[in-house]
Structure 1
Amino acid sequence: MTTVLAVANQKGGVAKTTTVASLAAALAALDQRVLVVDLDPQACLTFSLGHNPDKIERSVHDVLIGDAEAKEVLLDTAEGITLLPATIDLAGAEALLLMRPGREYALKRALATIRDDFDIVIVDCPPSLGVLTLNGLTAAESVLVPLQCETLAHRGVGQLLRTVEEVKQITNPDLDLLGALPTLYDARTTHSRDVLADVSDRYNLPVLSPAIPRTVRFAEASASGATVLAGRKNKGAQAYRELAENLLNYWTDGRKLETLSG
């Protein structure tokens, strides 16, 4: 059975794209066939996996509006991950989709033709709660919320959780909210720990283990067109490997998700 995971947070700068790329690479290293879908018009995921969005002729934009089949647009990456890329054209897809009936289901319909070729599909949702994010949540079986461990980071979490509940009521009743993933975490500060405790208590939201540490390796990896797992051993890569094992055990063996709280 193919698992589709949406990674969503309408706040930017929370390591959402880093999480998608690094988690995908870690799952691929565990012999999983992984597809990542870049739903962000900024195309940061596409760039971070070694492809120049400005030189891509067809993207997920063409797939969503019905001008191409998903299988015709897929790209390979150095990490062994398959990519459904984005370009700036995707910004126009939102307006086009708004005029169409069943607009929330466009991605789900597109993935139906290729999902059996993969074990895991990870969707990188844009930093908004528009129709593209609704497509990601409607197509997914589960959703993960990366959360920066800073005081203002959880502003908007309540709004995202309400959106998830609305999606469950209207387009995807089986959507499983896995919880928050702590990112940019500094274990040396009580501040980071206090933020996590506040999120867990305020929203009754599980906080997944392990917390992803703050490290310069992530920025270096993105700039080089590779994930943090491709370089030398580092604590960021190790954290994503542990997260991949945690999720894979949950999806394949039905084990309880390891959490820091909740």
Structure 2
Amino acid sequence: MKQAGPRVLAVANQKGGVGKTTTAINLGTALASIGERVLVIDLDPQGNASTGLGIDIMGRSKTSFDVLTGAVTVLETALPTAIPGLHIVPANADLVGVDSTLTDQTRAYRLRDALTALASQLRNMPADQGFGYVLIDCPPSLNLLTLNAMTAAHAVLVPVQCEFFALEGISQLKDTIDQIRATLNPQLEIQGVVLTMHDARTSLSKEVAENVRAFFGPKVYETIIPRNTRVAEAPSHGKPILLYDFDCAGSQAYIRLATEIIERERQNQAA
């Protein structure tokens, strides 16, 4: 059985501290736990997704920076994680220099070209060695790295924190996606919006959730990621939450989110 090209989702929000990296690594883990093969691409110079999936800084000899510069392919860079079916293209601080390194007119298309080459390679591989999903963990800003991610992606997954300034920058992000669709990637869409760090004890979380649903409508997933101490602790142990504490509320929420995302993908393909 041949592997078709993977579904590419950029996990992005120009506002920091919204649970973007946490969502990328735990959603990737949850997808893998229900049988999907997943590749996370760490495109943030801080490399938090790499750390959160247990990749030591000394083990990152080939990184997403090398993919963007064309020095290596995605498959040559992808590392296995402790989760069967989940790989990661790691990142380090080299990404800080990407603007000065890539100066030609194709620089916004580097990741797209690399993933196009990956899809071509996967067609000659068994399905159990390929990837069904690629999740790109973007930096919390609109720069060349985020442009590369959105140009390469089929859709954007937007984590939104349930706190006072949650909607700050959301309209700007939507405008950015519209601009990229008009200029660099006509197929780009918002795949879904994930409400994160929700505290059911506060009226503020409820109000923010209602406002986000009013703004994005059915794009917002039914699954809400709760504010959970165990989820916050897990990255410091180099583990996604499903490995750190499978039974906690955060783990179970990410499994539900993964199931909901797959169901939405099936509905989109059938439409």
**Same-fold call, TM > 0.5?**
yes
- In 1, Cα distance between equivalents of 2:73 and 2:191: 30
- In 1, Cα distance between equivalents of 2:23 and 2:73: 27
Say which of 85, 91, 94 aligns to 2:96: 91
The one-character-per-residue Cα deviations of 1:49-108 (angstroms, maximum 9, x if unpaired) are 0012244222110110112222221111001211011010011113322x1112111001
Unmatched tracts of structure 2, length 5 or more: 123-129
Unmatched tracts of structure 1, length 5 or more: 257-262
- Cα gap change, 1:74/1:214 in structure 2, threshold over 3 Å: closer, same or farther? same
Say which of 229, 243, 246 aligns to 2:242: 229
- In 1, Cα distance between equivalents of 2:246 and 2:214: 37
TM-score by length of 1: 0.92
Q: How does 1:31-50 map to 2 (within 5 A)?
A: 31-50=35-54
The one-character-per-residue Cα deviations of 1:132-161 (angstroms, maximum 9, x if unpaired) are 001111111111110110111221111111
State the aligned residue count: 255
Query: Would you say 1:82 and 2:87 are equivalent positions?
Result: yes
Q: Is the 8 A contact 1:249 1:255 kept in 2?
A: no
Query: Would you say 1:123 and 2:105 are equivalent positions?
Result: no
Q: Which residue of 2 aligns with 1:187?
A: 200
Q: How does 1:130-141 map to 2 (within 5 A)?
A: 130-141=143-154
The one-character-per-residue Cα deviations of 1:163-204 (angstroms, maximum 9, x if unpaired) are 000111111111121232110001121111111222333466
Measured on the aligned residues, the alpha-carbon RMSD in Å equals: 1.7
- The amino acid that maps onto 1:235 is A
Say which of 203, 215, 219 aligns to 2:228: 215
Q: How does 1:149-168 map to 2 (within 5 A)?
A: 149-168=162-181
- The amino acid that maps onto 1:87 is N
Which piece of structure 1 moves more, 173-182 or 129-138?
A: 173-182
- The amino acid that maps onto 2:88 is L
Q: Is the 8 A contact 2:155 2:189 kept in 1?
A: yes
Query: Would you say 1:73 and 2:80 are equivalent positions?
Result: no
- Cα gap change, 1:206/1:253 in structure 2, threshold over 3 Å: closer, same or farther? closer
Say which of 56, 61, 65 aligns to 1:52: 56
- Cα gap change, 1:157/1:95 in structure 2, threshold over 3 Å: closer, same or farther? farther
- In 2, Cα distance between equivalents of 1:23 and 1:180: 13
Q: Which residue of 2 aligns with 1:259?
A: none
Residue 243 of structure 1: CA displacement?
0.7
TM-score by length of 2: 0.89
Say which of 161, 172, 178 aligns to 2:191: 178
- In 2, Cα distance between equivalents of 1:69 and 1:3: 18
- The amino acid that maps onto 1:236 is G
Q: Which residue of 1 aligns with 2:127?
A: none
Say which of 230, 241, 248 aligns to 2:255: 241
Percent identity over the alignment is 41
The one-character-per-residue Cα deviations of 1:243-262 (angstroms, maximum 9, x if unpaired) are 10011112235489xxxxxx
Q: How does 1:196-211 map to 2 (within 5 A)?
A: 196-202=209-215, 206-211=219-224
